């Protein structure tokens, strides 16, 4: 996929994952605002985050959804380019 198409596709996939309530919820200690962090992506590298107690299940769900949607749009997942992080 070209850069712009890949970026647009990834944005839509991340929004879908956000709607499924996947990722990590973080609270700003000062403002008390809660934000949801799904992933950080740069070109073809993606880092996914969760702070769910059952993080292994959540990460598998994220990877299943992400890989199916990404491949359905013409992309190809390369496992070595994806990292997972668990935040307590």
Q: Check residue 63 and give left, alpha or beta (phi > 0: left; psi -120 to 50: alpha).
A: alpha
CA angle 55, 56, 61 (to 5 degrees): 95
Residue 29's contacts (CB-CB under 8 Å, 6 or more residues apart) are none
Q: pTM of the predicted model, to two decimals? A: 0.66
Q: If you search the block for the tokens 């380019």, which residue do you land on?
A: 81
Highest-pLDDT range among 29-33, 67-71, 78-82, 84-88: 29-33
pLDDT at position 30 is 94
- Of all residues in the chain, the percent with pLDDT exceeding 70 is 88
CA nearest to 6, candidates 65, 70, 64:
70
- 12-44: per-residue pLDDT in tens? 888 888 888 888 888 999 999 998 888 888 776
Residues for the chain: how many in total? 88
What's the chain's average pLDDT?
Answer: 80
């Amino acid at each position: 996929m070209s850069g712009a198409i890949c970026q647009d596709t990834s944005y839509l996939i991340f929004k879908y994952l956000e709607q499924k309530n996947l990722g990590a919820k973080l609270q700003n200690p000062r403002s008390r605002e809660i934000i949801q962090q799904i992933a950080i992506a740069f070109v073809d590298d993606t880092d996914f985050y969760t702070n769910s107690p059952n993080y292994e299940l959540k990460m598998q769900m994220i990877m299943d959804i992400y890989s199916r949607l990404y491949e359905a749009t013409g992309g190809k997942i390369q496992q070595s380019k994806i990292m997972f992080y668990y935040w307590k």
